Amino acid sequence: MIKRTALAVSAALLCSPVFAGMPAAEIAQYDIPFYDHTLSIEERLDDLSARLTDEEKGHMITIWNPGVPRLGLKVYMGGEALHGLSAPRDNAATVFPQSIGLASTWDPEAMKRMGDAISDEARAQYHNGPILQRGRKGPLTFWSPVINIARDPRWGRTQEAYGEDPLLNGTFATAYIQGMQGDHPTYLKTAAGPKHFVANNEEHNRFNGNADISEKQLREYYFPAYKQAVEEGNAKIVMTAYNALNGVPAVNNKWLVKDVLRGEWGFDGFVLGDYGSILMTTKGWGERGFKGHEIYENYVEAAAAVLNAETLDFDNTRIFRNEAIKAIKQGKASSESLDRAFRNTMRVGLQLGMFDPEELSPWKDLPFSLLTSHKELALELAEKSMVLLQNEPVDGTPLLPLDKSALKTVAVIGPNADRLNYGTYSGTATDPVTPLQGIRDYLGDDVEVLYVPWSNTENELTHIPMDNITTLDNQGMGIWRAFYHNDQMARGAADGRENVAHIDFSWTDDVPHEAIERERYSVTYKTNVVPPQSGLYTLGIEHMGGDIVVQVNGAPLIRDHGDNPEMTRFTKEIELDATQTYEFTVISMRRANAPEHALRFGWQEPQEANQFEGGELEVAKKADAVIAVMGISVAYERESIDRAFEGLPTAQTEMLQSVVNANPNTVVVMQSGSSIESPWLKDNVPAILQAWYPGEQGGNAIANTLFGDNNPGGKLPLTWVKTWDDLPPFNDYDMTKGRSYWYFDKEPLFAFGHGLSYTDFTMDKLKLKSNKVKQDGTIDLSVRVKNTGKVDGDEVVQVYVHDKFDRSDKPKQRLKAFERVSVKAGKSETVNLSIDVADLAYWDEKTKNWALGDRYEIRVGNASDNIKLTDTVRVK
């Protein structure tokens, strides 16, 4: 049976409007003040606003539009840059570690350098890359970063976030945004867009879910990262979430967007909804295979609602281009509300210099070859992201680092051994290095590498997610086009047609469409697909009651002419390229005597196989050491797919049980975008290295770490629980019920902030500048970090605060400052940190305002469960 999953809608497919820089000669033909770059931005907006009709303004702030040709306003393509430039797909670019790995570096300065590198690549592509379809250039506005709190390991997009802590999320988002947007006095380098505002933490009900969250928890836990990204990072774009917040969809939540984001935090950029989220507020989506909030009767009402609520400025479907204009003409919304959205969006384009002569751009000469040039930085970040979870002694000595000179043979096994998982929203790398290749390159001819490929098994077929479908309806939603014929062989013109979300139907006495008048008929489904990753896919169809044909780019892939009385599956493997678009066609022809006609179509994406056959055990017995590269992949966790099971797949655990018994010198390297809940692993495997999805240089980073050239210094950005049974229900957003290190009351598998090193550190000499501070003051502290081991290494000083007074929903402790510091063997470094007293405040539900307590305990350590030093401050 086809596994039913929530359909994804990917912002990566968005193609935003406007913003297309022109040469000075071309601008000169439009002699209007808007193109006079010496005028202020508001003067230029005043001029353009007065010249455009409502219809033209709608075009300028709507996806997939012709712009305003009479004034030279052309379309522009927006994109994604979560951990590297990922649009357009056919331009290779540097692929950095996935976000959860970046957060594990605890190094926001390196994160900022990554943002600067990505924006360099974006500008090089924009100015000197190929011209895209319909004159589009590469993007300069990006729907990144993702700063939704990773509150639950079951969330499929945990990999895209920066962990479970508000400060860590906010600091990394701010560093990324600052790197992306640059520090030029006149122009934004690019515009970054944190998302999804707010509480977007479930994929199975992502279109219609509702997060019930108190204002207190919003203020203290869910909001801070966004607030920091806006106030410190000066983010110019914010994307709202699909879900509702306390019963009101985020896309038209006036309190959330107008009152808090703009009113309180002073956001001055443009707001867009997640792809199709406006449409999902209208009725009838359930009948079309989608699930939305279904509040408004039609698109006109939905368009009027977001204009009147002053939430959205940019429309990523086509509702501002069509229905918003109808709403204005019908008196349901005003031209002024559309103009507000228009000015907010265009203002960012002017700040990017996209309507100024291209010759003025500070980045106009960056070469297109720059796009793949940041491999050293990708390696640095991958190495810094490595988290050594465990390193127990074998024969009296910690297993890691492995001593190359003492090895003759090394076994490299596991489903991810020769696979480099990038994670979601990834670009296309040149010369990526898998763990196997990295280990072979490191060892050279000195050590024999015994490799056993992981075997293949058949897995569930899933519907093709909407984010991979490029056939769109008139509102920009990814669909299949269905054509119905009274002719059984699908000949001639269709007698009826409609759009559907996916192919999953069953008809008995009824017919699939009102145009069908015969017992023998045919249905043809067509769509265009861009695969999420390159590799070997399995396309499959289950059907009964007729004949079927599946075609890819017009060539038959699957045929069956049997009269199947029950559902029968047919599959075929096919190699698909993530840089290409494929036409999929499914034809189903019902036989006259068939009592039921049913069909389901889907695919199985490339993934590590899930079967242990025993070859691993044989090489483990022969080898001096075993490197088992385990974990999961985007086949198990990603946008539209929440995790279905905790820990490792069963076959992986079974293999490890045999291998560890045969060879205790076994180290497990894990690639995953979230925690791996496995007490067995911790109790039985001596060394565990968490590599996350490490980017294009992942194989080199893993090898360098295993053999000691890189001393791991990464720390966990989220709590690893022993079992999901220790967690509240997935859809419960109340943090006080045991979520994150703030409130988790069970023993963790590995704690927030945990991470080991190949050397030893001590912390001492905690000094507070004063134990009494004013409410508008700062807590200034210093601590000495000494490397007492024999190798250089990095340690992360983590400063937590515990409230020593009574208040509601009091967390155990909160991270309030941190710094990663490099210390040479036998040396010491003094780390100075500062905390604004105002950052210690809590939300008082009675006064509806922030309040401070009188006493706070300052806790300093290298993990949330390993506090070394404490002191107390009083707030006057």
Catalytic residue among 107, 165, 274, 315: 274
> Comparing 378-382, 532-536, 546-550, which segment has the lowest mean pLDDT?
532-536
Residue 682, φ and ψ in degrees, nearest 5? -65, -35
Is 1.10.1740.10 the CATH classification of the domain at 761-875?
A: no
Question: Which pLDDT score is estimated for 390?
Answer: 98
> Comparing 133-142, 383-392, 535-544, which segment has the lowest mean pLDDT?
133-142
Side-chain-side CA neighbours of residue 177 (13 Å): 30
**What digits encode the pLDDT tens for the residues 215-247?**
999 999 999 999 999 999 999 999 999 999 999
Rounded to whole angstroms, how far apart are CA atoms 43 and 53? 18
Q: Is 274 a catalytic residue?
A: yes
* Average pLDDT for 357-369: 95
**pLDDT above 70 (res 26):** no
Question: Which pLDDT score is estimated for 7?
Answer: 34
The single-letter code of the amino acid at 856 is: Y
Question: Which pLDDT score is estimated for 185?
Answer: 96
Question: Which pLDDT score is estimated for 11?
Answer: 38
Q: Classify strands 191-192 and 867-875 as parallel, antiparallel or unpaired.
A: unpaired
Question: Which pLDDT score is estimated for 501?
Answer: 83
> Comparing 434-448, 590-604, 816-830, which segment has the lowest mean pLDDT?
590-604
Q: How confident is the model at residue 24 (pLDDT cuts 50, 70, 90)?
A: low
* Average pLDDT for 275-300: 85
Other CB atoms closer than 10 Å to residue 805's CB: what's the count?
Answer: 12
**pLDDT above 70 (res 335):** yes
Alpha helix ranges (H) inside 232-316:
254, 299-309
* Average pLDDT for 572-600: 86
**pLDDT above 80 (res 82):** yes
Q: Which residues of 249-276 are buried (b: 16+ CB within 10 A; e: fewer)?
A: bbbbbeebbeebbbeebebebbbbbbbb
Other CB atoms closer than 10 Å to residue 595's CB: what's the count?
Answer: 9
Residue located via tokens 């290749």: 437
Q: Which residues of 111-142 are buried (b: 16+ CB within 10 A; e: fewer)?
A: bbbbbbbbbbbbbbbbbbbeebeeebbbbbbb
Average pLDDT over the chain, rounded to an integer: 91
Question: Which pLDDT score is estimated for 133?
Answer: 59
Domain with residues 375-457+608-743, CATH architecture: 3-Layer(aba) Sandwich (3.40)
> Comparing 368-372, 617-621, 641-645, which segment has the lowest mean pLDDT?
641-645
| Segments making up each domain of the chain, as ranges | 14-362, 375-457+608-743, 466-604, 761-875
Query: Which of 208, 277, 195 shows the shortest CA–CA distance to 239?
Result: 195
Which secondary-structure segment (H or E) carries 848? none
Question: Which pLDDT score is estimated for 245?
Answer: 98
Other CB atoms closer than 10 Å to residue 490's CB: what's the count?
Answer: 18
587 Cβ neighbours under 8 A, 6+ residues apart: 490, 522, 523, 524, 525, 548, 549, 550, 551
CATH classification (class only), 14-362: alpha beta
Q: How confident is the model at residue 612 (pLDDT cuts 50, 70, 90)?
A: low
Residue 579, φ and ψ in degrees, nearest 5? -95, 0
**pLDDT above 80 (res 6):** no
Six token digits for residue 599: 């069909």
Six token digits for residue 248: 């009101």
Q: How confident is the model at residue 17 (pLDDT cuts 50, 70, 90)?
A: very low
Burial label for 331, CB within 10 Å (0-12, 13-18, 19+), is: exposed
- Largest Cα–Cα distance in the chain? 88
Which secondary-structure segment (H or E) carries 701? helix 698-706
Other CB atoms closer than 10 Å to residue 28's CB: what's the count?
Answer: 11
* Average pLDDT for 21-35: 76
Question: Which pLDDT score is estimated for 23?
Answer: 64
Residues facing 669 on adjacent strands: 629, 689
* Average pLDDT for 602-625: 81
**pLDDT above 50 (res 62):** yes
> Comparing 38-47, 444-453, 606-615, 626-635, which segment has the lowest mean pLDDT?
606-615
Query: Which of 824, 855, 831, 835 shows the shortest CA–CA distance to 764?
Result: 831
Rounded to whole angstroms, how far apart are CA atoms 336 and 334? 5
DSSP per-residue codes, 743-806 = H--S--SB-TT--B-SS-EEEEEEEES-SEE-TTSEEEEEEEEEE-SSS-EEEEEEEEEEE-S-
Rounded to whole angstroms, how far apart are CA atoms 717 and 277? 30
Cα–chain center distance at 23: 35
**What digits encode the pLDDT tens for the residues 95-126?**
999 999 999 999 999 999 999 999 999 999 99
**pLDDT above 80 (res 511):** no
**pLDDT above 50 (res 602):** yes
Which secondary-structure segment (H or E) carries 540? strand 535-544
The single-letter code of the amino acid at 809 is: D
* Average pLDDT for 30-48: 95
pTM: 0.90
Query: Which of 106, 596, 44, 87 shows the shortest CA–CA distance to 355?
Result: 44
**What digits encode the pLDDT tens for the residues 447-497?**
999 999 987 555 677 888 877 888 877 666 788 999 999 988 888 888 999
Q: How confident is the model at residue 751 (pLDDT cuts 50, 70, 90)?
A: very high
- Asked if residue 261 lies in contact with residue 233, where contact means CB atoms within 8 angstroms, the answer is no
**pLDDT above 70 (res 854):** yes
Q: How confident is the model at residue 865 (pLDDT cuts 50, 70, 90)?
A: very high
Q: Which residues of 615-637 are buried (b: 16+ CB within 10 A; e: fewer)?
A: bbbebbeebbbbbbbbbbbbbbb
Q: How confident is the model at residue 510 (pLDDT cuts 50, 70, 90)?
A: confident
Which CATH entry fits the domain spanning 466-604: 3.40.50.300, 3.40.718.10, 2.60.120.260, 2.102.10.10? 2.60.120.260
**What digits encode the pLDDT tens for the residues 125-154?**
999 998 765 666 789 999 999 999 999 999
Counting residues of the chain whose pLDDT is more than 90, the rounded percentage is 72
Q: How confident is the model at residue 687 (pLDDT cuts 50, 70, 90)?
A: very high
Q: Which residues of 344-381 are buried (b: 16+ CB within 10 A; e: fewer)?
A: bbbbbbbbbbbbbbbeebebbebebebbbbbbebbbbb
